Each structure stands twice: as C-alpha cells, then as structure tokens.
Amino acid sequence: MSKNSSPYHDAGWLLSEHLQKRRGLKSIAFDSQGNLNDKRKAPDKATYATVCKTMQHLAIINEVLNANNLRKSIGFDSVRNKGLLYVMIYELLFGKYKSIRGGGKIKRMIIKHEKELRRQADECIAKHGGEGAEKCIIFPRYIRVNTLREKKLDAVDTLRTMFRKQSEDSVAPFIYADAHVPNLLVLPPTASSWLHHDCEYVKNGMIVLQDKSSCFAALALVHGLGEGTIDDKKVRFDYVDACAAPGNKTSHLAALIQSSIGNINQSTKKKDGKMTEPNSTVYAFERSSSRFNILQERLKQLIPSLPDDCTKVAVVPVHADFLNADPLDPKFGDVRAILLDPSCSGSGIVNSPDRWMEDVHDNKDAKRIQSLSNFQLVALKHAMSFPNVDRIVYSTCSVHDEENEAVVAKALSEVEKSEDGNDWELMAPVCLEQWPRRGREGGIGGLTKSQADCLIRCDGLDGDETNGFFVSFMVRKKLASGCINKRAPIDSVGIPIYKGQFSGFSGRTNFIASDSDSKQSAGNYASKPIQLNKCEGSSQQKNDNSFAKANGKSAKKRDKKLEWKRKQALLKSTRIKTKGKKATVSKKDA
Ligand SMILES: C[S@@+](CC[C@H](N)C(=O)[O-])C[C@H]1O[C@@H](n2cnc3c(N)ncnc32)[C@H](O)[C@@H]1O
C-alpha cells in the first residue's frame, strides 16, 4: 500500500492524470515508472481495474453530482485531486462493498452527503430503466490461433478441454470458427473469465486474444488481392509494420505470410535443399522504448525460433521512428507492403476506459483528434513514398472520420500523380468482400461512393460484435489491374461457422466483453462466470438451441433497440438532407 493515507492514492493519481492530460489510460499506466510511489512498477491490476470501473461509471457519477446541487455541496471544485474524488464516489455507490476504505479529507467531504448521494444514484439508475450504471457492450471472446505455434484443430481440442473444466454444468463447449478470418475462433463472452492474459495457453503463445476487427488489417494486406494472384517472379517480398507494439498484428502478419508463401520457398532452396535466408522479412518499427520492450517480449512468445532452414519469415523488431526510416535505404529495397496501424484516439474500442471518457467530455477533444489525424496523414504519405511498395493497409481503432476516411482521401489527393500506373488507389480487400459495413462517402473526406465501398468499417455499437475499426487497402494502380478476384473459403473442417449464436448478451452482467488487443483490461481481472444453461445431452446443436433460448429474450430486446436506433438515424439523415436542400434553394432564391 502507498505511504499516503488513502488506499486509493494510486488509482486517484492515475485517473487524475488521465482527466487532466487527456492521455490514454494505458499509455499512462505503461509509462508510469517514476510517478507512482513504487518507482519500478506500473499500477497493479487492482488499481487499474478500480480506475477502469470508475471510468465506466463516470457518466452516471456526474449525473448524480449534477442532481440537487450535490456538486456544490460536496465542494467538488475545491478538490484538486478529482481522480481520487471520483474513485471514492465510485467505491461508495457502485463498488463491491459500497463503502470507502481508509480516511482523509476527501472521504469526509463525501460521507457528509452519503445519504443524498445514494438517493440520487438510485434515482438515476431507475431513470435509466435499471440499466446504464455500467456501460458495457458484450461480444464474443475471439481467439486467434497462432498458427506459427499451434494447429487450429489442436487449439480447438485444448480449448474444449479447458472449457469443460470451467463449466461444472458439463455443457458441451461452444466454439465456432469465425466466418471472415481464418484461424479465428469464436467463444462465448463468458470465456473471458477463464481465458485471459494470465492463462498459460495465452502466455506460451499458442493462442492470441485478439478482437476480430483487429485481425482484418494483416489479413487485408496479405490476402487483399485475392487468392492465386501472381505478383511477379521476384521471390523476396519484405514487409514493414510501421507502428508495431504490442505486436498482435505483426505476429498475425507473420503467420499469414508463413502459410501463404507455401510453395514459393521451393525456388529459393539451394541444391542441398537448404535455404540460406527467409523468403520474407517483416521489419516491425516501434518508437516508444517501453512499448518496444513489450513488442520484443510478445514476439519472443509468439514467433518460434526455428532452424534457419525452416524459417520462411523473419520478424526484425526495429526500435525507431518510422517517419525517420529512409525509403531509399537498400535494406528496404525488397519491402513491397506496409501495414500502418498508427496511434489513434481508440474511440472504437467499445469498452475501453478512453471511450467512456468520450461521452463525459462530450467529444470536445477535437484538437487531440486533429493532431492525431495530422500525424496519421504524414505517416501514410511516408509509407506511400517507399518506391517498391505497391500495397498498404492503413487501419485505426477509431470511429472518427478525421482519422479514417479524411486521412485516406487527403493522402490519395496529395501524393504525386504519375502516368505509368504508380498512382495509388483504394481497392476493396477481396478476402473481406463478404463483410457488409463499408466506409463513409462524402463527409469531410469527400470520398466517392465507390471509394467508400472499398473501405471496411466495424461498429461495435451497431451490432457488429467487434470493436469499432477502420481498414483501408491501397494499391498502386498498375497492381490492381493484375489481381484475381478469388476469395479463399474459410476452412471450417471439424468446427461450425459462427452465425451470431452469442449475440444475446447485453446490458448489465457480471461479464466484461472481449477486450481489445491491449494487455491490460478491467475484464481480465474482474469477471465471474455466468451459469451457462444446463442441458441434457452434449451435442453442439442441442447446446446451440438452449444457448439461443437462454439469450433469446435479451437478443430480441437488443434487436428492437437496434431497429429503433437505425430508424432514428434514418430520420435524422433525412432531416439533415431536407434542411440542406432548403438551404440551397433559399441560397439560389437569394
Ligand atoms: C495502435 S498502436 C499499434 C498496435 C499494433 N499494430 C498491434 O496490433 O499490436 C500504435 C503504436 O505505434 C507506435 N508509434 C506511434 N508513432 C510511431 C512512429 N512514428 N514510429 C514508430 N512507432 C510509432 C506507438 O508507440 C504505438 O505503440
């Protein structure tokens, strides 16, 4: 415990830093050496979880404070350590023990108004129909099998065994294959309670806890042109992952390259049957020192060191700023593809503490988004300047147009035009042709409908069962003409394809949704399993049915809500259009 009197000192500090500096919680936690009491350590799990939980409740806490002049009565403005104040109010109103531990002046200020705080909290919850204290969207637990270390069916067997051990009710494990991403498994959200980052199977790199949407980026880069496309006769094909830490997409990229190179390596075999060097190198750039260490650790976990004669892909971590990488450096002469997944606002991560803040700040951090957008544009144009690169994936986990369509549109319009097909254009990744949600046309980006249709968007708040995500695939014009539009089917041997069987989870539960790629998430520390429906017999089908029944009610409710939301959005856009038309007419009239 800290030498400070409050057991919430570290949590309060972390939250205050976040509120004042508008820095992401994760980056504060990772860079916290020297700021917390224990100089060598980042915040412990309990502290991080408390902050996450507090942020999750921040909107309702503010609502409570705004009622009946409570903000003033408590003396909110006079408190410098707002983080600590919020954490204590959370503990009192929504925490496990509904009380504040320790002592101190802030606690005394709060306790004076305890009754009224509780009364207002009850009223707010009642006003939201008994929901709304925790804003938590639940979606399946996605597991990417790391095919560099493990075979899909072996992973399924291991997971089924683990699943059975967890479910005392002896239900048959619900495990499906994802319909869009090969080697991605879909488990119920409840699996997050036993499948987390501390789990042995995750730690030894056999599987990766990675959201489905975040798998789209590497997939589009490797399979965007379609299966069977013969690029050219050149065998070496290197990649750059421009912003790599913590390394989930880098390792996914390596796994996809490894399995796609297939027979090409035959041609590089020497006469004695051995290769001297890998067919492909992935240069994984990371600018931040602390995150570079994480990247190195992750790569050690995920990428096996094989004897040289077996390795088709080498991953080289590069501790450097990608913007300083010289596109004409001969080392990058064989780099043909770049994955650019730069720092972004993270506004798409549905259960991220940083998204909960978006609501509280009422999207006022336009400046921050603009500066991110400026950096993203510079990085994308830098990627486009590598002479031998002919394909780029630019992705973000942001939902803001400024960081997505606008960046792509500006980059396309600002890079040099050329007569010989060296121009860049958007292409719809063939491997994701069945993904329905596409980019936004018009708007600040000004993309045409056909350009926007090339883009992939995910929206976790509109039923996609993923985090919000954006993927664009850009190719040199001359390359686009040579591609074969054939998509490889998802191999679902031995495992059924997921078709929304877990989509009933919603509202307040003890469960935390599948987290993002991040290593630390409240979900990893705080969940407790729901009882899956007990069912006789053990066939997957039977279980599917009972699962569906168990969740049918809430699924219906959710669908109704979604339908209502869609209708509202439609009405709104019609209103805006009519308003726009009226404005143009009156301008003309004038
Ligand atoms: C969104 S994260 C990347 C996540 C990663 N692609 C994954 O899937 O695991 C962005 C990363 O890029 C790094 N970064 C930002 N600007 C950079 C630059 N100019 N050069 C290299 N790395 C950079 C950040 O430190 C951060 O670790």
Mean pLDDT of 402-422: 89
Q: Is 310 annotated as a binding residue?
A: no
Residue 50 has pLDDT above 80, yes or no: yes
Residue 393 has pLDDT above 90, yes or no: yes
By DSSP bridging, strand 456-458 and strand 424-426 are: unpaired
Residue 588 has pLDDT above 60, yes or no: no
Dihedral over Cα of 461, 464, 465, 471: its sign: negative
By annotation, the residues acting in catalysis are 397
The CATH T-level fold of domain 213-481 is Rossmann fold (3.40.50)
What pLDDT shows up at residue 324? 98
Residue 51 has pLDDT above 50, yes or no: yes
Residue 147 CA to residue 151 CA, distance in Å, equals 6
User: When comparing pLDDT for 497 and 565, which is higher?
Assistant: 497
Mean pLDDT of 423-441: 94
Q: Which residue has the tokens 């569906």?
A: 548
Residue 240 CA to residue 464 CA, distance in Å, equals 29
Question: Which of 508, 514, 510 is closest to 464 using CA atoms?
Answer: 514
Residue 282 Cβ < 6 Å to ligand 1: no
Q: What string of DSSP letters covers 310-324?
A: G-SEEEEEEES-GGG
Residue 275 has pLDDT above 60, yes or no: no
pLDDT-derived band at 519 (thresholds 50, 70, 90) equals very low
pLDDT-derived band at 526 (thresholds 50, 70, 90) equals very low
Residue 247 Cβ < 6 Å to ligand 1: yes
Mean pLDDT of 257-264: 70
Query: Between the CA of residue 80 and those of 4, 315, 350, what are the distances in Å?
Result: 16, 47, 30
Which residue owns the Cα nearest ligand 1 atom 15?
A: 343
Which residue owns the Cα nearest ligand 1 atom 10?
A: 343
What pLDDT shows up at residue 522? 26
**CA 299 / ligand 1 centre spacing (Å):** 15
User: When comparing pLDDT for 301 and 5, which is higher?
Assistant: 301
Residue 155 CA to residue 170 CA, distance in Å, equals 20
Return the amino acid letter for 95: G
Return the amino acid letter for 385: S
Residue 540 Cβ < 6 Å to ligand 1: no
**CA 330 / ligand 1 centre spacing (Å):** 24
Task: Point out the ligand 1 atom lying closest to the alpha carbon of residue 245.
Answer: 27
- The residue ranges of every structural domain in the chain are 9-127, 141-209+492-537, 213-481
What pLDDT shows up at residue 525? 21
**CA 218 / ligand 1 centre spacing (Å):** 15
Q: Are 486 and 224 in contact (CB under 8 A)?
A: no
Q: What string of DSSP letters covers 409-469?
A: HHHHHHSPP-TTS-SEEE---GGGTT---B---BTTTTB-HHHHTTSEEE-GGGT-SS--E
Residue 343 Cβ < 6 Å to ligand 1: yes
Residue 409 has pLDDT above 90, yes or no: yes
Residue 5 has pLDDT above 70, yes or no: no
Q: Assess whether the previous peptide bond of 307 is cis (omega < 30° from 0).
A: no
Residue 400 Cβ < 6 Å to ligand 1: no
Question: Which of 355, 406, 352, 347 is closest to 377 using CA atoms?
Answer: 406
Is residue 387 within a helix (H) or strand (E), and if so which, with residue range? none
User: When comparing pLDDT for 386 and 538, which is higher?
Assistant: 386
pLDDT-derived band at 581 (thresholds 50, 70, 90) equals low
Q: How far is CA 385 from the centre of its chain?
A: 28
Mean pLDDT of 379-406: 96
Angle, vertex CA 333, rays to CA 330 and CA 338, nearest 5:
125
What pLDDT shows up at residue 549? 46
Residue 43 Cβ < 6 Å to ligand 1: no
Phi-psi region of 337 (alpha: psi -120 to 50; beta: other; left: phi over 0): beta
Q: Work out the number of other CB atoms within 10 angstroms of the CB of residue 495.
A: 17
Residue 553 has pLDDT above 60, yes or no: no
Residue 403 Cβ < 6 Å to ligand 1: no
Return the amino acid letter for 470: F
Query: Between the CA of residue 501 and those of 405, 419, 438, 573, what are the distances in Å?
Result: 32, 50, 23, 32
User: Ligand 1 pocket check: which of 30, 208, 241, 286 to mutate, most ligand atoms within 8 Å of Cβ?
Assistant: 286
Mean pLDDT of 101-117: 92
What pLDDT shows up at residue 41? 58
Task: Point out the ligand 1 atom lying closest to the alpha carbon of residue 322.
Answer: 20
What pLDDT shows up at residue 352? 62
What pLDDT shows up at residue 68? 83
Give the chain's radius of gyration (CA, Å): 25
Q: Are 284 and 300 in contact (CB under 8 A)?
A: no
What pLDDT shows up at residue 547? 43
Residue 233 CA to residue 216 CA, distance in Å, equals 27
User: When comparing pLDDT for 355 and 424, which is higher?
Assistant: 424
User: Ligand 1 pocket check: which of 252, 287, 376 to mutate, most ligand atoms within 8 Å of Cβ?
Assistant: 287
Q: Is 75 annotated as a binding residue?
A: no
What pLDDT shows up at residue 560? 64
177-212 core/surface letters (b: 16 or more CB in 10 A; e: else): bbbbbbbbbbbbbbbbbbbbeeeeebeebbbbbbbb
131-190 pLDDT, tens per residue? Answer: 555 555 678 899 999 999 999 889 999 998 888 887 655 555 689 999 999 999 999 887
Q: Is the ipTM of this complex over 0.90?
A: yes
Mean pLDDT estimate for the chain: 78
Q: Is 529 annotated as a binding residue?
A: no
Is residue 573 within a helix (H) or strand (E), and if so which, with residue range? helix 540-589
SS3 26: helix
Q: Which of 18-27, 258-267, 550-559 is predicted least confidently? A: 550-559
- Work out the end-to-end distance of the chain between its first and last CA atoms, rounded to an integer number of angstroms: 71
Residue 221 has pLDDT above 90, yes or no: yes
Residue 323 Cβ < 6 Å to ligand 1: yes
Q: What string of DSSP letters covers 517-538?
A: S-S--HHHHH--PPPPPP-SS-
Residue 425 CA to residue 455 CA, distance in Å, equals 12
Q: Is 44 exposed, middle or buried (0-12, 13-18, 19+ CB in 10 A)?
A: middle
What pLDDT shows up at residue 542? 42
- Output DSSP code: residue 82: H
pLDDT-derived band at 462 (thresholds 50, 70, 90) equals confident
For the chain, the 3-state helix, strand and coil shares in percent, each to the nearest 5, are 45, 10, 45
